[in-house]
Amino acid sequence: MINYVCIAKLFPSAGISGVLGVPVQDPKEVNEYWDAMGIVPGQQVRFVRLTAIPDHAKPHLKVGDIVCKFPGLSERFLDVLRPVETAYLASSWRTEPVDWEHAEEVRSRSIENNSWEASSDNYQIAICDPEGRLAVLRARKGTPKRLFKTAYAVLQETERDKMRMKVDKTVDYRLDPDRKKRCAWTTLRYLHGYLLKNGPIVDPEKLHWVRKLVRRHNEIVCSLPNPKLENRQIRMHTRRRSKHAREFWHRIRREYLIDSEKLPRPLAFIASKREVRWIRVTLDEVEEVLKYIDWPEWKDIRDPVHFSNLNYSVESGSKAWN
């Protein structure tokens, strides 16, 4: 497990318009960066922490990146040291320690491609976001593909997995291969966020709970209707009067009163009203709502929300609810 990654030749020595930074002067921080880069202590090097990034540079640079400048060397592009987060859950039953070499390969690909990446080795699954935040779950043999139904769509561990993802017009799929992949990525992103939120070292005793969460999450995602409108919207229905959902919506209301900005738009809108039958949501907003599935108030017996399709194109009158 590492705390920093070095991205070679990322920052132009001439600078970038709108990018601001401050020199790092704390000796402890400087020594930490020396260790991370493998620099001999005492070697002349200047570290600058980036504090402001304009929109045009955000795909490549992050606030907090450390630019490394070696005085006396004429370089067109400078190395960047990026602080990264790592979280992992390693079962203590019938498993080996985390394979960090495999996990860091996933992080390297993610940063290099500026994309989400995931990989498994039949014992562990490593998931990394474009910012280099890595989440690893390791347990006994076969765990990654058994986490949830559509996990194989992304992990592709065997030839059979690859065959199952090929489109065959003679096969009547319940979920077409592309949708299986989208559902799998949605659940993998949830697992990634859960581990980071509860990390950096997640209690191994939570493994059963985590598996239960991701399976339930994937079931909901796979049951979502296919949006029929061009704006990719569906309906999210509330169950505020259900005895199984009452505690969830009471907590949402309290969170709204404390800080409404922390809630996703659909939940904040519902909490602001006395009565809401349903609300239009995008698939991205559904993903934000499902992050609350790990609340104890989200009961297994019945979800506090359910979803249906918008089967019309008229966006006025009574049909344009919310």
Residue 2 has what pLDDT? 76
Residue 243 has what pLDDT? 85
Residue 8 has what pLDDT? 80
- CB 84 within 8 Å of CB 4: yes
User: What is the arithmetic mean of pLDDT over 103-115?
Assistant: 89
pLDDT digits (tens, 9 = 90+) for 291-309: 999 999 998 888 999 999 8
Amino acid letter, 24: V
User: What's the CA gap between 24 and 28, in Å, rounded?
Assistant: 10
Give the model's confidence band at 41: pLDDT under 50 very low, under 70 low, under 90 confident, else very high: low
Give the model's confidence band at 314: pLDDT under 50 very low, under 70 low, under 90 confident, else very high: very low
With CA atoms as reference, report the closest residue to 146 among 178, 179, 123, 164: 123
CA 142, distance to chain mean position in Å, is 23
Residue 172 has what pLDDT? 59
- CB 38 within 8 Å of CB 81: no
With CA atoms as reference, report the closest residue to 99 among 137, 64, 52: 137
pLDDT digits (tens, 9 = 90+) for 73-107: 677 888 888 888 999 999 887 788 899 999 999 99
Mean pLDDT, the chain, as a whole number? 86
pLDDT digits (tens, 9 = 90+) for 213-267: 999 999 999 999 887 656 678 999 998 888 888 999 999 999 999 999 999 999 9
Report the chain's C-alpha Rg in angstroms.
Answer: 23
- CB 5 within 8 Å of CB 107: yes
pLDDT digits (tens, 9 = 90+) for 264-277: 999 999 999 888 88
Q: Residue 52 pLDDT more than 70?
A: yes
Residue 254 has what pLDDT? 95
Residue 191 has what pLDDT? 96
Matching residue, tokens 């139904």? 149
With CA atoms as reference, report the closest residue to 107 among 136, 144, 146, 78: 136
User: What's the CA gap between 95 and 123, in Å, rounded?
Assistant: 8
Give the model's confidence band at 171: pLDDT under 50 very low, under 70 low, under 90 confident, else very high: low
Going by C-beta distance under 8 Å and a sequence separation of 6 or more, which residues neighbour residue 86? 1, 2, 3, 133, 134, 135, 136, 199, 200
The percentage of residues in the chain with a pLDDT greater than 90, rounded to a whole number, is 42
